[in-house]
Amino acid sequence: MSLITQVLTALGWIVVLLAISPMVWLIVQPYFKGWSRAERRAADLLRDTLTPEQFRQLVWRGYLEVPSPTEPQRVYRVPRTKGYIQVIENGRAVMRLCVQPVESLPDADVVVLHKLMIEANEENYLQKANKYVCID
């Protein structure tokens, strides 16, 4: 294939991409806008629910530690994004939990959900969770 043909093919593709990009943007734009609005609202709720120390921990370490209300040596480590909740007892990871809402939620809302469930509904939370025991 000659150089001229290659250049013309490339130019043709560029023209096609430029032509369809506004249409693609019109289609996906509402999803981007909707999601970012949802994330912003969820972030507001997260800030309202956490203490400044907890918020800093979540931002810098990537997880939030929620002490068990019933077992003083137990802490739940909730990740900032989707993932397992680690159960730490006496400084050692003993279990991983998988619990998720039936409805898709922004990540920040999921953190709040775990915190509230652990603090005020721990028994029910543990009943619902799928448990994976950590073996050294």
Minimum separation from the CB atom of position 11 to other proteins (A): 42
Minimum separation from the CB atom of position 79 to other proteins (A): 13
Nearest to 44 by CA among 123, 118, 106, 126: 106
Q: Is position 136 an interface residue for other proteins (rule: CB under 8 A)?
A: no
Q: Which residues contact 131 (CB under 8 A, 6 or more apart)?
A: 95, 96, 97
Q: Is position 56 an interface residue for other proteins (rule: CB under 8 A)?
A: no
Q: Is position 28 an interface residue for other proteins (rule: CB under 8 A)?
A: no
Quote the distance between the C-alpha of residue 72 and its chain's center.
27
20 secondary structure, DSSP code: H
Instruction: State how far the Cα of 1 lies from the Cα of 21, in Å rounded to an integer.
Output: 28
Q: Quick one: which of 74, 79, 111, 125 contacts other proteins (CB under 8 A)?
A: 125
Binding residues for other proteins, per CB under 8 A? Answer: 34, 37-42, 44-45, 48-49, 69, 98-106, 109, 112-113, 115-117, 119-121, 124-125, 128-130
